[in-house]
Amino acid sequence: MSSETPAPPRKLPFVQLFTDGACRGNPGPGGWGCILRHPATGTEKEISGGEILTTNNQMELQAVISGLEAIKSRSEVEVVTDSTYVAKGSESWMAGWKKNGWQRREGNSWKPVKNVEMWQKLDELLAKHQVRFTHVRGHMGHPENERCDVLAVAAAMAISGQ
């Protein structure tokens, strides 16, 4: 019998992920932007991209997906977003969608979840990390949200050739 005490569980690295999506027309050319911040080291990384024909909700989802894909090791992640769709979808609605075969009730019938492939990808990524969502109001002076909006709009404009 060993009297050794087990090592305490290692604390996961903490990452803040700030995200935003933008669309010029809905649907239309769109962009997303995110900031990854590792407070323990003070490092920060900005990434962005766009699609020629997309929706605002798709770009909001893509910002979170791309940010989580950029995190290479299991981490505790705070996703800061102005998208109620992404925050509530991830924290509240997704469990029911999965239970119902990625279907949602619409009136008296079942319909496929919109953007299901993106939600499924996000579900995979959320399982790799310990994630919580913080919802902020958009365009209200939150510095990182404003910066992500600038990145997203610039990406949408670049993809549309403007």
Across residues 104-112, what is the average pLDDT?
Answer: 92
Q: Is 35 helix (H, G, I), strand (E, B) or coil?
A: strand
Q: What are phi and psi of 136, to 5 degrees?
A: -120, 155
Asked whether the beta carbons of 56 and 23 are under 8 A apart, the reply is: yes
Measured distance CA(22)–CA(57) in Å, rounded? 9
> What is the distance of C-alpha 140 from the center of its chain?
19
Active site residues: 20-21, 60, 82, 139, 149
Count the Cβ atoms, other than its own, within 10 Å of residue 14.
Answer: 14
- The number of residues making up the chain comes to 162
Asked whether the beta carbons of 70 and 38 are under 8 A apart, the reply is: no
pLDDT bin (cut points 50, 70, 90) of residue 4 is low
Percent of the chain with pLDDT over 70: 94
Query: Hey, what are 93's tokens?
Result: 């609605």
* pLDDT value at residue 20: 98
pLDDT bin (cut points 50, 70, 90) of residue 7 is low
- Domains in the chain, start-ordered, CATH in brackets? 14-89+130-159 (3.30.420.10)
Q: Summarize pLDDT for 20-63 with one digit per residue, the tens.
A: 999 998 999 999 999 999 999 999 999 999 999 999 999 999 99
Measured distance CA(145)–CA(1) in Å, rounded? 55
Across residues 80-106, what is the average pLDDT?
Answer: 95
* pLDDT value at residue 6: 66
Measured distance CA(148)–CA(34) in Å, rounded? 5
Local structure of residue 89 (DSSP, 8 states): I
> In the predicted model, is pLDDT for residue 10 greater than 70?
no
* pLDDT value at residue 3: 56
Strands (E), the chain: 14-23, 28-38, 43-54, 76-81, 103-106, 109-112, 130-135
Percent of the chain with pLDDT over 90: 86
Q: Summarize pLDDT for 66-86 with one digit per residue, the tens.
A: 999 999 999 999 999 999 999
Higher pLDDT, 77 or 139: 77
**Reported pTM:** 0.92
